[in-house]
Structures are given as structure tokens and as C-alpha cells.
């Protein structure tokens, strides 16, 4: 039996930091409101010159170094992003060129904030099939580009960044189980309902959200997804050492852990200093906790995504 295993992680945050006070100086909001409702204190914002593939490149290089794997040994690149560099080619192909390699499969996954978990589950299945041996799975986003900076209800929530893992074929798991779900009837509660047509933007190029509906939906499906994935892996909640849900809002994270019966000390929280980085949030959090020596080899981590679509999913992973 072939399994896949995370053998290295990496991440990148653009140097520019924007604090809640920076928002309060230009919008009718306050540090207290943002902290209380979301737990967010600061977020990183990409420079105009930086694209998702640039952020992905930095994260990928770190992950390859941590895994001690050369870029040309990678035979599969999956980039999860809702803020691609172009309509096409894919950000994954642009990243492959920036890595200076040729010939691997390379494609993007579009599942918004669940994108990394969707990408990880896809790469896991492709490795388990025997067709691929080493994959780079990356979440990379410049959400700052799709925000209405005058809409205090949304612009304070998000940040930019990238996180990456190297996944390699092995003879023990690795990834125990992944469960992916979607319900397109909820498309309207979180969207960027615009497109490029005839040289113009049709619809809106900005993120729109029904915050309370998203909040309730996220807590419900993250709990269901945790249970479904543990059942698929034949494990119990006590077998989980760390819970890394999509970093959207501290209140969503704490409610999810509470509902799932996972202790607060096992909950990974980085949204306070990253903001919501969409598809990048889970691998960014994973890399930060691994580099800090908090998540250690052999520990079991439940990774969870939820986002526009609506999409959601979880992967149970032994590191």
C-alpha cells in the first residue's frame, strides 16, 4: 500500500504589516471592535509588485529546503488560490517556471478558503494511485486585491501570504483520511461575483459576505467534518494532538474546538497575527507551529478548511 506523508513545510508573509489601528485611522472602526469580534490584531499585505506565484515561490523554497528535496524531484504541483496571477495560465504553471523546473503536472485548485485541504486530498489520492511520487501543495493568496477598502465589514478580516508542504510517497501514513464536501446553493453568502468580459469587469470585483450566515455555516460544517474525517480514519477525537481549522475568526475556531470536544490547548491559532489568508491559512499555521517546535514529528493533526462555494473538508495527518 502506498501512502503520502508531509516531509517538509514552508511559508511566506509579505513584510508590510497592517494593524487594526491603521484601519481605525481611515475607517469608522476600532482596534477594540476588530479584536473582540474576530481576534485579529494585525495582518500582512503584499506589495503591489508581488503576485500569488511570488508568495508561493518563497513558501515552496522553504518547504523544499525543510524536506531536503530538490525542485526538479517534484512531479506534481498544486496551488490553491482564489487570487491567481492571471485568468490563465495557472499560478501553478507560473510557479513551476519560477522554480526553474519542467515536466511535472501543475494545476490550480479553486475552493477558496478550503483550497489547501482540497489540494492536499487531491495530491494524496494522486500519490496513492502510484502515478506521482513527490508533490508540492501550496495555498497562496493576495486577498488584499479583491477587498473593498471602504467596506469595514470585510476589509479588516483578511491578509496575504502563502504556505506550502512537500508530500512524498511512503509506506505508512501520513495522511490517514480526507473528506471533501461542497454545497453550491450557499454561493451567495461569500463571493466575488465578477468576471472579465470584453475588456471590462462585469459584476463586482470585490468580496461580498453575509458575515453572520458564514459564521454559523462554518461552525456547523467544521464540526460535522471533524467527526466524518475521524470516522473515515477509524480514530477518535482523543487521537488528535492538534486542530488547525481555517483561520477565519478566533470565535469560529474556539466554537469549532468546543463543539468537537477538542481542548483549547490543542487548538492552533494564528489568525490574530495573520488575519484570514484564505487558502494559505492552514499551511501557514502548520508551518509556524512546526518551526516553533510546538507540533512535533509523530503528532496527529486535523487540518480543516471552509470557505466560499460553499466548500469544506478535513484531512487527518500524522507528521
In the complex, least distance from residue 136 CB atom to ligand UT7, rounded to whole angstroms: 23
- Residues 6 or more apart in contact with residue 237 via CB below 8 angstroms: 226, 230, 260, 261, 262
Which one from 44, 176, 246, 274 is the annotated catalytic residue? 246
Q: Which of 63, 76, 113, 262 binds ligand UT7 (CB under 6 A)?
A: 113
Return d(Cα 244, Cα 236) in angstroms, integer: 16
Interface with ligand UT7 includes 156 (CB under 6 A)? yes
117 binds ligand UT7, rule: CB under 6 A: no
168 binds ligand UT7 (CB under 6 A): no
Q: Give min distance, CB of 47 to ligand UT7, in A.
A: 23
Spatial CB neighbours of 104, under 8 Å, sequence gap ≥ 6: 74, 75, 76, 77, 96
Residue 222's nearest CA partner among 151, 314, 147, 160 is 314
176 is catalytic: no
Does 111 sit near ligand UT7 (CB under 6 A)?
Answer: no
Query: CA 101, CA 124: separation in Å to the nearest integer?
Result: 21
Residues 240 and 266 sit within 8 Å (Cβ to Cβ): yes
Is residue 253 near ligand UT7 by the rule CB under 6 A?
no
Beta carbon of residue 152, minimum distance to ligand UT7 (angstroms, whole number): 4
Indicate which single residue of 94, 106, 219, 248 sits in contact with ligand UT7 (rule: CB under 6 A): 248
Which three cell numbers mark 234? 477509524
Cα 72 from Cα 100, distance rounded (Å): 8
* 155 flagged as catalytic: no
Total of residues contacting ligand UT7 (CB under 6 A): 18
Q: Where in 276-305 is the site for ligand UT7 (CB under 6 A)?
A: 276
Contact 312, 219 (CB under 8 A): no
Q: Distance between CA 248 and CA 224 in Å, rounded?
A: 17
The residue (of 49 and 212) whose beta carbon lies closer to ligand UT7 is 212
Report the C-alpha gap between 58 and 108 in whole angstroms: 17
- Tell which positions 8-37 bind ligand UT7, by CB under 6 A: 29, 33-34, 37
Residue nearest to ligand UT7 (CB): 211
Catalytic, out of 113, 155, 176, 274: 113
Hey, which residues does 244 pair with through a beta bridge? 303
- Catalytic-residue membership of 21: no
The residue from 153, 203, 234, 261 that contacts ligand UT7 (CB under 6 A) is 153
Q: Which residues bind ligand UT7 (CB under 6 A)?
A: 29, 33-34, 37-38, 113, 152-153, 156, 209, 211-212, 214-215, 248-249, 276, 307
So which residues are the catalytic ones?
Answer: 113, 246, 276
Amino acid at each position: 500500500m502506498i501512502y503520502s506523508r508531509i516531509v517538509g513545510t514552508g511559508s511566506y508573509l509579505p513584510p508590510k504589516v497592517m494593524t487594526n489601528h491603521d484601519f481605525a485611522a481611515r475607517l469608522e472602526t476600532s482596534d477594540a471592535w476588530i479584536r473582540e469580534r474576530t481576534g485579529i490584531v494585525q495582518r500582512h499585505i503584499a506589495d503591489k509588485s508581488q503576485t500569488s506565484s511570488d508568495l508561493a515561490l518563497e513558501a515552496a523554497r522553504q518547504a523544499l529546503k525543510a524536506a531536503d528535496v530538490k525542485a526538479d524531484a517534484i512531479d506534481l504541483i498544486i496551488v490553491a488560490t482564489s487570487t491567481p496571477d492571471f485568468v490563465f495560465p495557472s499560478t501553478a504553471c507560473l510557479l513551476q517556471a519560477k522554480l526553474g523546473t519542467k515536466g511535472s503536472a501543475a494545476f490550480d485548485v479553486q475552493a477558496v478558503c478550503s483550497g489547501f485541504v482540497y489540494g492536499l486530498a487531491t495530491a494524496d489520492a494522486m500519490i496513492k494511485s502510484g502515478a506521482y511520487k513527490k508533490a508540492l501543495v501550496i495555498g497562496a493568496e493576495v486577498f488584499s486585491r479583491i477587498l473593498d477598502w471602504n467596506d469595514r465589514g470585510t476589509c479588516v478580516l483578511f491578509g496575504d501570504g502563502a504556505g506550502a508542504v512537500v508530500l512524498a510517497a511512503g509506506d505508512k501514513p501520513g495522511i490517514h483520511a480526507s473528506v471533501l464536501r461542497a454545497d453550491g446553493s450557499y454561493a451567495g453568502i461569500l463571493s466575488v461575483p465578477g468576471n472579465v468580459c470584453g475588456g471590462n469587469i462585469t459584476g463586482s470585483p470585490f468580496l461580498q459576505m453575509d458575515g453572520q450566515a458564514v459564521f454559523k455555516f462554518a461552525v456547523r460544517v467544521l464540526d460535522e467534518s471533524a467527526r466524518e474525517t475521524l470516522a473515515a480514519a477509524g480514530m477518535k477525537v482523543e487521537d488528535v494532538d492538534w486542530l488547525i481549522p481555517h483561520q477565519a475568526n478566533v470565535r469560529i475556531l474556539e466554537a469549532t474546538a468546543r463543539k468537537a470536544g477538542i481542548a483549547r490547548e490543542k487548538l492552533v491559532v494564528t489568525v490574530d497575527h495573520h488575519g484570514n489568508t484564505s487558502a494559505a491559512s492552514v499551511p501557514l499555521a502548520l508551518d509556524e507551529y512546526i518551526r516553533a517546535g510546538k507540533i512535533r514529528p509523530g503528532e496527529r493533526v486535523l487540518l480543516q478548511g471552509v470557505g466560499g462555494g460553499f466548500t469544506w473538508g478535513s484531512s487527518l495527518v500524522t507528521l
